[in-house]
Structure 1
Amino acid sequence: MIPLVADLTTAVGEPYGPYVHRGATSQDILDTATMLVASRALEPVLADLARTERALARQAAVHRDTPMPGRTLTQQAVPTTFGLKAAGWRSLVLDARDRIIRVRETLPVQLGGAAGTLAAFEAYGARSATALTEAYAREAGLAAPSLPWHTLRTPIADLAGALAFAAGTLGKIGEDVLTLSRTEIGEVAEGSGGGSSAMPHKANPVRSTLLAAAARRAPQLAATLYGCVAAGDERPAGAWHAEWEPLRELLRLTGGAARDAAGLAEGLSVNAEAMRRNLDLTRGLIVSERLSAVLAPRLGRARAKELLTDLARRAHAEGRPLSELLTEEAELKDMDLATLTGPAHYTGFAGVLTDRALERR
């Protein structure tokens, strides 16, 4: 600040030079500058989040009823739809957007003077701390705080939380795409993957990888900023200074993640045939939950569980589909087993939930 004040004083000349930095302290200027940088940096982040959510909304609408395996703890659980998965991704992106918008709207100027009392401004003739701060905020295009926040670091903590949440949200999308684009699964693919230096056949999911990496780095950067909330005295030594590098890096990291997420969502290729093929990997056992619900009233809960447990074992041991084994059970001869064992017929309210999610703007 010292050379900056000298240069500004020279630049404005007389009679304005004596008014440069009169009453303020270095932290007033640097904190305000930080808020201005953050506000400007969040603009492209929000633009890229908007691109991402629009692309995901299109995917959710197109694939509203496209069945695919739902996976829990890495294993196929019950069928779901890709539309519902994409709608879930979009919901997270909108959550991140809303948090960033709220934080951006409240980013404040800093004005407190040497120890947060505005004493020098009063000595130079200011009659109202509120009017002074509000005038400064209007000029800067930022919010007017109720108090100087030299050691009240809520704005930085809120910004850190919104950025880390956004990075984690986009990392969730990246992690899912990394899983679904595995060679053995092949249900989605990045529109333009990265090449390999040694293996010409590979199309690496580069954007998803960058999102996953950002999601792992962001929480630690935010943790440093949260640690700086414990700032001593009326102006701190160390806590404030420790904010500068992690906040700058967190803004850059989240901005890059938002850009990569937009490119990923807009170019994502969905392989509905692979999804349908993978639904058959369990030989029909992916709908065992449904069969339990249907057979329990007919056979009794204990008998239904015993039967399905035995048939599941046989499906694995004999390599036969569950539907075929069920047709051999005399107790079930009159049932529509084709419908009951069809994964596409057991996606619950996925379509309705997708529709509801897409109503959100």
Structure 2
Amino acid sequence: MGLLAPARAGASASTGDAAWVRALLDAEAALARAQARAGTVPAAAAAEITRVAAGLRPDPGALALRALETGNPVVPLLAELRAALDPAVAGHVHRGATSQDIVDTATMLVAHRALEPVLAALDRTLAALAGLAGRYRDTPMPARTLGQRAVPTTFGLKAAGWLLGCLDAREELDRARRALPVQLGGAAGTLAAPAGPELLPLYAAELGLAEPILPWHTRRAPVLRLGAALAETSGALGKLATDVIWLAQTEVGEVAEPAAPGRGGSSIMAHKRNPVLSVRVRSAALQVPAYVSVLAASAVGEHERPVGAWHAEWQPLRETLRLVAGAADAAAELTGGMVVHPDRMLAGLAGLDGTTGAAAELTDRALAHYQAHYHRRKP
């Protein structure tokens, strides 16, 4: 998690060094199995590579130090994998692939695995927000524009706005996850390897990833799409958290975060209960755009293999995954136990003119859209 990185709590295991090493080994083993299906590697050799790779536990720190001399961790990892295999089998490892094929495929695999619990957390958040919208459909409160009280609205409509923002983000993130492709192009993106282009669908099937039309060594659309979906998700969650922070102010007190022993305490003011879940979400939302900007800048790789631009993606993408995962977990807990104070909302309406009938109808529209979305998702 990291002492100074509470915003990204919850994703260390799925995005840590050990997870990345496991994905690299899984990518190598899947390549051998795909080549066995294509008839270019003996089936027994592919099975042995898979068995040994599954049991191998390289030290990520040692790999990182050795990677300083090779530019990526695949070369030292291959040395360990081949050393653990019979020499006759070792010759079938990594055939026709390049280091970027394995790193990119492992990156997509890590993202695919890490996003499953993120989507589940977003589903919990959506269910909680739908419940809030329905429960408080007719609960009046002051709307606020430019930081000032405006006209009456309802808390149901405010929750419905959060709901649709998070629903849109969840759809984009799910779409990006389903589109994550394997990478296989060989030394210069020509796939001049045993079995050639027919290996792509076999490799994709082995890993449960999408099949690309062409190798994408310097066409970084998959990474950019993923980064954009992660940024949209952090933005939607950050909007929710920001609103809660202001609504939970002592002078407003219209909502409160769920209470938990020790949570939100101050080091000097015993009367305070800080909105720490919202702070975690907002902190993540403020960091993600900076990391995604690096992903966007890294799309300008030259010719058939990028110099530095590809390498610059690795850590920002990992941090983005971690931050969004942490934000999604915190948002699910926040919305699932949010405390609403209708009396404080009503008191805030003093002196404001207007009706809330249309707000209730708009809330119904949002809830109908949410329900239709999940109805369409059912098999």
Tell me, yes or no, whether TM beats 0.5: yes
Residue 14 of structure 1, CA deviation: 4.7
Q: How many correspondences in the alignment?
A: 294
For residues 196 and 160 of structure 1, what CA distance do their matches in structure 2 show? 35
Partner of 2:50: none
For residues 216 and 237 of structure 1, what CA distance do their matches in structure 2 show? 29
Select 2:223's aligned residue among 156, 164, 170.
Answer: 156
Matched, 1:56 2:153: no
Residue 191 of structure 1, CA deviation: 1.1
For residues 14 and 219 of structure 1, what CA distance do their matches in structure 2 show? 47
Identity rate, percent? 56
Structure 1: gaps of 5 or more residues:
288-342
Structure 2: gaps of 5 or more residues:
1-73, 374-379
For residues 210 and 135 of structure 2, what CA distance do their matches in structure 1 show? 42
Partner of 2:189: 116
Select 1:98's aligned residue among 168, 171, 190.
Answer: 171
The amino acid of 1:248's aligned partner reads R
Partner of 1:352: 361
Which secondary structure does the structure 2 equivalent of 1:142 belong to? Answer: coil
For residues 57 and 11 of structure 1, what CA distance do their matches in structure 2 show? 53
Residue 10 of structure 1, CA deviation: 2.9
Residue 185 of structure 1, CA deviation: 0.6
For residues 12 and 64 of structure 1, what CA distance do their matches in structure 2 show? 64
Matched, 1:30 2:30: no
Partner of 1:218: 288
Select 2:120's aligned residue among 30, 42, 47.
Answer: 47
Which secondary structure does the structure 1 equivalent of 2:318 belong to? Answer: helix
Q: Tell me the alpha carbon deviations over residues 304-348 of structure 1, each in whole angstroms, 9 at most, x when there is no partner.
A: xxxxxxxxxxxxxxxxxxxxxxxxxxxxxxxxxxxxxxx5xx014
| Equivalences for residues 1-361 of structure 1 within 5 A | 1-119=74-192, 121=193, 124=194, 126=195, 128-129=196-197, 131-192=198-259, 193-280=263-350, 283=351, 286-287=352-353, 346-359=355-368, 360=370, 361=373
For residues 141 and 123 of structure 2, what CA distance do their matches in structure 1 show? 26
Of 84-93 and 12-21, deviating more is 12-21
The amino acid of 1:2's aligned partner reads V
The amino acid of 1:259's aligned partner reads D
Q: Tell me the alpha carbon deviations over residues 38-82 of structure 1, each in whole angstroms, 9 at most, x when there is no partner.
A: 000101110100010111111111100000001111111110000
The amino acid of 1:104's aligned partner reads R
Partner of 2:35: none
TM-score, length of structure 1 as denominator length: 0.80
TM-score, length of structure 2 as denominator length: 0.76
Structure with larger Rg: 1
For residues 259 and 358 of structure 1, what CA distance do their matches in structure 2 show? 23
Q: Tell me the alpha carbon deviations over residues 245-303 of structure 1, each in whole angstroms, 9 at most, x when there is no partner.
A: 100000000000000000100111000000000100xx2xx22xxxxxxxxxxxxxxxx
Partner of 2:9: none
For residues 356 and 16 of structure 1, what CA distance do their matches in structure 2 show? 61
